Homo-oligomer: A and B are copies of this chain.
Amino acid sequence: VNFTDIEGKLKSQKVPMVISLPEDDESILAAYEAYQLGYVECLFVGNPAVISQKIDRLGCAFSPEIISVSSEEEAGSKSVELVRSGRAKVLMKGNISTPKLLKAVLNSETGIKKGKLLSHVLIFEWEGTLRFLTDGGMVPHPTLEEKQEIISNAVALAHRLGCETPRTAVLSAVESVNFKMSSTTDAAILAKMGDRRQLGKCLVDGPLALDNAIALESAHHKGLFNEVVGKADILVCPDIDTGNVLGKTLLYFTQVPAGGLILGASCPIVLLSRADTKEVRLNSIRLALAAGA
């Protein structure tokens, strides 16, 4: 599966997407771009006067439904309610603060938490296939339990995007177990859980250095031969720093197509950064729509 396949899937699907407080240029433009491509039906949650004025000023030729709210808190809870009721299939953050949006998502009574943990996945295309990098954005120092959830979220996303048995590499700096490096012992434990099918339909190996995970020749040089090495679909990072720097390196030093999602809620959440390029914005929405629809 790659971005071209995803685009093909989305043609004229018009997936309903709610945008929480689209009162900034970036989120309105992103929604408009997706609308122009025929992918989405937009539901805006915010101040109608502010939003309409922005839409006009940006020259966007569309008039999405606007659900009126009078505060950030209300924007969060209303947006989430639209997902809960089934009216929206994807949630996108607008100008609402991330903590306020997540608070609404995680509310134990009115929220839309589905898994045990919210996690971030960067999806990028490399050698013609979507790869999933996690978690460089949500969980600072994941415990073993949290790593299990991070993998579970990524595996579920891969399945929804058409990767039936994602090859999952649990990364470390080395491919051998070293009792003094918890990234290696955690990886070994998670790999065995994969063997025992405790992580759903996927193949897991680890510890693996990044090159062992994505370059077959490099894996073979190290004497590693299995179904995961050299062909990993999912790259699981030992912590947020590793995940973040790997993701940023891909985004800023290469030209690989990429997008990001927050997983673990009942629908994918698009949480764009102001620094995201138009292509990253659109890719993130494409992925959310493909996974959420």
Contact = CB atoms under 8 A, between A and B. Distances in A.
Interface of A: 144-145, 175-177, 179, 185, 187-189, 191-193, 196-198, 206-207, 223-224
Contacts of A191: 188, 192
10 contacts: A144-B179, A175-B196, A176-B196, A177-B189, A177-B196, A185-B185, A188-B193, A189-B189, A192-B192, A192-B206
A274 to B, nearest CB: 39
Q: Is the interface of A mostly helix, strand, loop or mixed?
A: mixed
A197 B179 contact: no
A176 to B, nearest CB: 5
A176 B198 contact: yes
Contacts of A207: 192
A137 to B, nearest CB: 24
Nearest to A226: B195
Contacts of A224: 196
A188 to B, nearest CB: 3
A188 B192 contact: yes
Nearest to A193: B177
B185 A189 contact: yes
A127 to B, nearest CB: 25
